[in-house]
Structure 1
């Protein structure tokens, strides 16, 4: 089977409505897609009607108001609006990068257990994909991205390196000092993409963003999303941050009006409600600590989590436990497509969702 065929046979996780229908269950919880279980802020909800009245108009093609708000948040990194590009989800920014910098004469590098979109967009650009070995130290970001392994695979054809930080689906992270040293030791023409979809969660744990590296390393592109902590996954909006030269290049691949008027307006409202962000980060950390404590009591192996999800190793029981959980109305994410067939990924839910998971999961383990 070719890479192209295997990629496009990829199937997303099960939907709540599908599970309700198949298993005849009224109350289904989805802990599979790393959405914010507390949703978007109340201010966003209150402003939906306000923006709906303007949907007959085309949106601002340059998203100027949203860019200005992002500049205010990122001002300590000397970022201005010419360093920003807004995308239809951060996935669109990743697509722009592949279109702009990859072709059938180039190579792209990323870790074996990385976000699947990197493989999809690289294949569509006909680039040669180099997947590197993950970290192997059980006690140090196990299965996360190994920068030394990436460095060993760099060749004269390498054009782009994708690094998710924190990484999805492993949840692991690379320290900013290690990223800085890595950038110092690779050719400056290689585009290094730091995918920070889960940055807000890691920053709450005192981890530093790569945005402050852009001035010294203009080959760096940082991508972020409003789909996670801001709870706007359904609106599809994200952004890229880089040198003005890179942003101009990526912009040339953008369709006009790629961000709808509701997404622009409500993302701006969401940015303004940082109290909601802080509330969700605190609730996520509380939930994460509760789930980790439960796994340790049950003797369940898990990977180091720095996002809003945790990846657990269930060995040969993985498929059986996944099926039993879903039959009880609890949807987790199987990871066969990420070459992690013995693992499941669990999004941290609300307090009641976490309690329900722990209750059902513990009972299923005791039946084994």
Structure 2
């Protein structure tokens, strides 16, 4: 995030080796479920070793519970105790807690969602390649696209045609946008609309 890539286990280990033990490292793992587990950093192991690491995960992405605003933190006990001291009361409602607990038990949904995401990314990759449009291979549920032009204008034109994508101008990437992997029908509509607009601007 914001472009859908991740560091490897080796890169993260090297990073951790450069830090003194009193430095707190916060790992934003909002897209953890989508990542390649063979190369992804083993952050839980660092917590088990007592390192100053906080792992943040959410139910907003793969589990589809964005409206509930619920996630969780994994860290050693002393860090969690410090976190509780500044945590507001009643920060998560009961319905969100019930939904999150049910989501953790729904392995079938997780499997299906991951399969659909991989198929959707493959479809987008293949069609973007046919258009000779550059993209960044993703370990999330979105794909970052480089249009080699003013992305803000292209995004606005796409929105007028019912397709919403996120320009990355605010991240200093004025020619990039990212598109969320959707249903097969949504992915098809994105390609059709983007192709018409892209041909006009490039």
**Which of 54, 67, 88 does residue 221 from structure 1 map onto?**
54
Establish whether residue 343 from structure 1 lines up as the match of residue 170 from structure 2: no
Aligned pair in 2 of structure 1 residues 206, 216: CA closer, same or farther (>3 Å)? same
Q: CA deviation at 1:270?
A: 0.9
Whether contact under 8 Å (1:199, 1:209) holds in the other structure is: no
**Which of 175, 178, 181 does residue 11 from structure 2 map onto?**
178
Whether contact under 8 Å (2:9, 2:39) holds in the other structure is: no
**Which of 23, 29, 35 does residue 196 from structure 1 map onto?**
29
Choose between structure 1 and 2 for higher RCO, CA contacts under 8 A separated by at least 6 residues.
1
In the aligned structure 1, how far is the partner of 2:166 from the partner of 2:19?
35
In the aligned structure 2, how far is the partner of 1:247 from the partner of 1:307?
28
Q: CA deviation at 1:210?
A: 1.6
Aligned length in residues:
201
Query: Mean alpha-carbon deviation: is it higher for 209-218 or for 177-186?
Result: 209-218
Aligned pair in 2 of structure 1 residues 258, 320: CA closer, same or farther (>3 Å)? closer
SS at match of 1:276: helix
**5+ residue gaps in structure 2?**
none
Residue in 2 that maps onto 1:357? 190
SS at match of 2:25: strand
SS at match of 1:330: coil
Q: CA deviation at 1:354?
A: 0.1
In the aligned structure 2, how far is the partner of 1:205 from the partner of 1:285?
16
In the aligned structure 2, how far is the partner of 1:206 from the partner of 1:255?
36
Aligned pair in 2 of structure 1 residues 196, 222: CA closer, same or farther (>3 Å)? same
In the aligned structure 1, how far is the partner of 2:40 from the partner of 2:22?
27
Aligned pair in 2 of structure 1 residues 358, 204: CA closer, same or farther (>3 Å)? farther
Q: CA deviation at 1:355?
A: 0.5
Whether contact under 8 Å (1:204, 1:281) holds in the other structure is: no
**5+ residue gaps in structure 1?**
1-167
The TM-score, its normalising length taken from structure 2, stands at: 0.94
Residue in 2 that maps onto 1:257? 90
Establish whether residue 314 from structure 1 lines up as the match of residue 158 from structure 2: no
In the aligned structure 1, how far is the partner of 2:156 from the partner of 2:80?
45
Q: For the pair shown, which has the larger CA radius of gyration, 1 or 2?
A: 1
Aligned pair in 2 of structure 1 residues 175, 259: CA closer, same or farther (>3 Å)? same
Residue in 2 that maps onto 1:285? 118
The TM-score, its normalising length taken from structure 1, stands at: 0.53
Whether contact under 8 Å (2:155, 2:165) holds in the other structure is: yes
Structure 1 segments of 4+ aligned residues over 6 angstroms from their partners: none
